[in-house]
Amino acid sequence: MPPPAPLPVLLRPSYAGGPGTALAVRALEAAELGDAAVEAVLRWAVEVGPTVPLPGEGRTLARWELLATVGAQSLTVARVLEPHLDAAAILAEAGEHPQDGSTWGVWAAEGPPPRLEAREVDGSWVLRGRKHWCSLAGEVSDALVTAWVGQDERRLFRVRLDAPGVTVEPSHWVPAGLRRVVTTSVLVEDAEAAPVGEAGWYLERDGFWWGGIGVAAVWYGGAVGLARTLLAHTRTRTPDQVALVHLGEVDADLTAARAALALAAEAVDGDRCTGRDALLLGARTRHVVASAVERVAQRVARAVGPGPLSSDPAHVARVADLGLYVRQHHAERDAAGLGSLVLDEGGPSW
């Protein structure tokens, strides 16, 4: 069975463009980079970055369509591109910008001690401790990292990975998916860093949730890639009722996820996604998309059977990559968080 064509992923009902449109070109480029070295993907991310709209500036839908389009072709490429774009958006919110040619990661997860702490020394900031879950630490030139500036408060800093005192530790990354997006820890011993925003700003800003919805757009793109395989598989034979049920359910789930992303983009650009509303919309949209993605993955697995999983390398990679990627959503725990938000708001909007 030939691989599905590298088509754009649209969050609007129809696509009127042709193969020369910008999104179609990006789809083709992402497909061609699917087996490329991470270094090549990062160079492409540097090239693409300045052309991508920032969230909240009127073209958020186009930004998320790009992320979904790349995700449908290669979740590895999308996993490299998304944090690079996110870092640029974060810096823009803070009135800063990346250096020309720099490549970026964004690392805010917490792990076992010693935690990463920041202190001010003679007017400069230095970091000390260990940062866990640093994706592509051995590949990117720069990173935005959260560090503790007190017992209960964190602040964002920009760090050069080649700075004295920064050591990328050996990786124990042995995943089934996203194998080339190597994640490891970074040991920091009195390395200089530059603060970005005030203490608490990174997690409190509206853009934190806008960026989180952007990740969900990548998940959606990965599910579209699986659905395209299902559609191609179904067309190779006369489908029975069970095959049509799977195809119909997949279409319904993708439609729901697409609608959630489109509505979120309208809210972000319409200045209706700030403060508490940003938190609620972000949690709600991510949960809708993640749930749909997991159902699509299950449906496709049942519908196509073992064939593609044993003979189609692109499908095997997409299944494994998406399974790991969507685990950035914490399933029932995030659903419980959403439920708490609904109660705190005094009742649901429905």
Give the C-alpha distances (Å, rounded to integers) separating 110 from 2, 118, 141, 327.
43, 14, 21, 16
- Residues contacting residue 225 through CB under 8 Å, at least 6 positions apart: 4, 71, 72, 73, 75, 318, 322
Q: Is the CA virtual torsion 211, 212, 217, 222 positive or negative?
A: positive
The tokens describing 243, both together, are 């095959």
The residues facing 146 across adjacent strands are 156
- Residues contacting residue 192 through CB under 8 Å, at least 6 positions apart: 124, 125, 126, 127, 163, 164, 165
Q: What is the 3-state composition of the chain as percent helix, strand, coil, each rounded to the nearest 5? A: 55, 15, 35
Give the C-alpha distances (Å, rounded to integers) separating 46 from 24, 39, 347.
19, 11, 44
Distance CA(61)–CA(217), nearest Å, equals 10
Q: What are phi and psi of 120, to 5 degrees?
A: -95, 130
The tokens describing 213, both together, are 């919805």
- Nearest one of 145, 150, 151 to 187, comparing CA atoms: 145
Neighbours of 204 (CB within 10 A): 13
Distance CA(215)–CA(75), nearest Å, equals 11
Q: Looking at this protein, which amino acid is placed at residue 320? A: A
275 burial class (0-12, 13-18, 19+ CB within 10 angstroms)? exposed
In 136-268, beta strands by DSSP E: 142-148, 154-160, 166-168, 183-196
Q: Which residues of 131-148 are buried (b: 16+ CB within 10 A; e: fewer)?
A: bbebbbbbbbbbbbbbbb
Distance CA(65)–CA(80), nearest Å, equals 16
Q: E strand or H helix at 210, and its extent?
A: helix 206-234
Give the C-alpha distances (Å, rounded to integers) separating 316 from 224, 301, 319, 342, 345.
15, 11, 5, 38, 42
pLDDT per residue, tens digit, the chain (350 aa), is: 566 678 999 998 655 555 558 899 999 999 999 999 999 999 999 999 999 999 999 999 999 999 999 999 999 999 999 999 999 999 999 999 999 999 999 999 998 889 999 999 988 999 999 999 999 999 999 999 999 998 899 999 999 999 999 999 999 999 999 999 999 999 999 999 999 999 999 999 999 999 999 999 999 999 999 999 999 999 999 999 999 999 999 999 999 999 999 999 999 999 778 899 999 999 999 999 999 999 999 999 999 999 999 999 999 999 999 999 999 999 999 999 999 999 987 777 78
Q: What is the pLDDT, as a whole number, of residue 19?
A: 54
Q: E strand or H helix at 256, and its extent?
A: helix 241-269
